A and B are shown apart, each in its own frame.
Chain A
């Protein structure tokens, strides 16, 4: 018996997220006395796959079949189910990202499993299986009990420490036997965001709101983000106005992020905005209005003009 963790790759490489995910799954496996198998679909070199051993995977099933590149949800979930059955998985763990959210519900039905999405901690009990997840868009947590044979989890990034075990994993080629009839997605076009720190991966995020006044004033924030290797984000009105692109919009109706450090420049802190960022470890607010609700959510704050503060912060970072 085993735990299966689905590890996505980006052009043949894993990300920090993958290692965090494997570390998390490995901790559950250890607690329950199960083996951890990682499933990798795509063309990933063996030395890259082997890295997963260092985070606690003892076996890796690798599926190399270009047909899966279309990310067809039906076909991919069949492949995950085949792998889970192959290793007798009681628990399947995905990342709580676009692909994980797409596959986990399908896989849970097939495996007769209870699904808990967006889990933030190790299970508080494994028999019965009870685990904590975010609810009400980060405004609360729920402890969820699974009453089913098996468990499927999606794990919220940035909520578990990466643990290097020094272990290694055996790589095994695996054919999930998914037939052509299961593929119906045809990709016409793929646009990758390049040259930017992706918001969902960023450990530091620099974000601006309507207090930035127009789309022409973002040079300072971009410079700060560059220096900090941070992702850029914005409030909804900013993307609605076209000052910044839509993929930077965070909040209840945008992206939900949980970086280590979130800077809010000229953002009032509306409840729908906080819904997307309140799980950040440290929140810093810069706002000229001392009454702005963002200060209630923030750990550090400056009451002041963003345009006076930004250059000083840039200078401070350069001196660091």
Chain B
């Protein structure tokens, strides 16, 4: 069995969000780039499955420009066997999924994150599944193999389920898929330098959405303070002033 883990390259989660060019573009100056947290957990789970046996190879893939290679190297250092970078800016989710569909056909299991922490698209995994005509399971919080089947835990609105699904499959993962992300060890970092990182040319595809501009939320008014000894006053304020009780 071969697993493909999709990797989105995103700003560190503590990055202060700013925009440039009249709020038309994200200001990437000084930003630390990381593997999207969900993708990091997906990769961790893929490693666990490989260690349990039955997985031949784990490939990581990204659609991005040269700058994303550092993030792919990190994924190799965590333990992926090889990496693919499709050389194009990630214009929109449909463009990205179209690129990925050209390299994803050989894999039995494709893992995507539920959303990238930058533009919160919630899109690429499902679009890729549709382009490949594979089934997909979303909000996946656990995945195991049982012969040729995947046994999956997923969250549904109002509860959770355990499913069996046959592959090939796109699993779109969230919290719970792995406990803690694996951090690359020194040995992993050394080995990653020798692992293949293949750069693939992009195919023609049209994006369907574009960002007109960005806005920051309006600054909050100062927090209104209530005295600890007189906490009941808070309830009155919430009732009469804020009108939320």
Closest A residue to B225 by beta carbon equals A301
A10 in contact with B223 given A106-B130, A142-B214, A284-B234 (CB within 8 Å): no
B235 touches A317 (CB 8 A): yes
B136 touches A117 (CB 8 A): no
A140 touches B224 (CB 8 A): no
A301 in contact with B164 given A102-B126, A130-B212, A143-B212 (CB within 8 Å): no
B165 touches A185 (CB 8 A): yes
Contact residues in B for A133 (Cβ distance below 8 Å): 120
Contact residues in B for A103 (Cβ distance below 8 Å): 126
Chain B proximity of A193: nearest CB distance (Å): 5
A1 contacts chain B at the CB level, 8 A cutoff: no
A299 contacts chain B at the CB level, 8 A cutoff: yes
B93 touches A140 (CB 8 A): no
What is the count of residue pairs linking A and B with beta-carbon distances less than 8 angstroms?
270
Contact residues in A for B224 (Cβ distance below 8 Å): 299-301
Cα A199 to Cα B236 in complex, Å, equals 24
Cα A192 to Cα B165 in complex, Å, equals 21
Q: How many of chain A's residues have a CB under 8 angstroms from any CB in B?
A: 96
B191 contacts chain A at the CB level, 8 A cutoff: no
A249 contacts chain B at the CB level, 8 A cutoff: yes
B29 contacts chain A at the CB level, 8 A cutoff: no
B176 contacts chain A at the CB level, 8 A cutoff: yes
Mask of A61-77 contacts with B, CB within 8 angstroms, 1/0: 00000000011111001
Interface segment out of the listed B54-62, B78-86, B102-110, B237-245: B237-245
B164 touches A190 (CB 8 A): no
B244 touches A281 (CB 8 A): yes
Cα A135 to Cα B214 in complex, Å, equals 9
Chain A proximity of B110: nearest CB distance (Å): 13
A118 touches B208 (CB 8 A): no
Mask of B154-182 contacts with A, CB within 8 angstroms, 1/0: 11111111111110000010011000000
Cα A105 to Cα B161 in complex, Å, equals 21
Among B173-221, those with CB < 8 Å from A are 175-176, 207-217, 220-221
A98 in contact with B139 given A252-B13, A300-B224 (CB within 8 Å): yes
Contact residues in A for B129 (Cβ distance below 8 Å): 73-74, 105-106
B223 touches A308 (CB 8 A): no
B117 touches A313 (CB 8 A): no
B226 contacts chain A at the CB level, 8 A cutoff: yes
Question: B residues touching A (Cβ–Cβ < 8 Å)?
Answer: 13-14, 17, 19, 37, 92-94, 97, 114, 117-127, 129-131, 133-139, 151, 154-166, 172, 175-176, 207-217, 220-221, 223-228, 231-239, 242, 244-245
What 10 A-B pairs come out closest when comparing CB atoms?
Answer: A105-B126, A304-B228, A316-B235, A102-B138, A114-B208, A316-B232, A312-B231, A192-B159, A109-B130, A148-B208
